[in-house]
Amino acid sequence: MEDKTKLEFIARITMPDGKVIERTVEADGSVPTPDDFDMSSKAGFLESFDAYEKAALVARNKAGEEITAQYLAEVSKKNEKKKK
């Protein structure tokens, strides 16, 4: 197994009835490991931090999209029940 830094975003919505909607999204593996994070210069730091930040933002956005889609699906189900 290759040693990688694992970055996960866990999004959770708890409905009033106690039902929990949860999604976990993992960054694509491009997060630098502590050993690979370049602290030797300002330019190196910025490059390493940029790699981290890009992976984090992509994963965060994906988590938001997925949890929102699931939430709206749940809202739709509840509204369909009310109409009947």
- Cβ–Cβ < 8 Å for 7, 56: yes
Assign 84 a pLDDT band (cuts: 50, 70, 90): low
Q: Is the pTM of this model over 0.85?
A: no
Pick from 72, 71, 55: nearest CA to 23: 71
DSSP assignment, residue 72?
A: H
Which residues make Cβ contacts (< 8 Å) with residue 55, sequence separation at least 6? 7, 27, 28, 29, 30, 31
pLDDT value for 47: 96
4 or 54: which leads in pLDDT? 54
Quick check: 51 pLDDT over 70?
A: yes
Give the tens place of pLDDT for each residue, 26-43.
998 889 999 999 999 999
Pick from 26, 30, 24, 25: nearest CA to 52: 30
